[in-house]
Amino acid sequence: MASFEQGGEREVTYWIARAHWGCGIATRALRLALAELPTRPLHARAAADNAASIRVLTNCGFVVCDTDRGFASARGAEIDEVLLRLDA
């Protein structure tokens, strides 16, 4: 889990090892991090084809607000992204 400022907006990000996908760890970790990070709004990005990551974010209260294209280091390519925002 990480939180950083980019372009004047506070973002959150996370990564979890594949062996732990689908266990609810990312959702629990994000909820704990959000409780410690009072800044709102918060922003997040997810690969448009990563339904599980989008679900983690929406389960934690984030709402899809836009789309974009960005470079994904893990994929070594530019990808379609979903932009999400948490206001409360």
Other Cβ atoms less than 10 A from the Cβ of 9: the count is 12
Residue 74 has pLDDT above 90, yes or no: no
Cα-flanking dihedrals φ and ψ of residue 55, to 5°? Answer: -65, -40
pLDDT in the model for residue 88: 85
| Distance separating alpha carbons of residues 38 and 45, to the nearest angstrom | 19
Alpha helix segments (H runs only) across 37-75: 51-59
Listed by start position, the domains of the chain span: 2-86
The CATH number of domain 2-86 is 3.40.630.30? yes
Reported as a single tens digit per residue, the pLDDT across 12-63 is 999 999 999 999 999 999 999 999 999 999 999 999 999 999 999 999 999 9
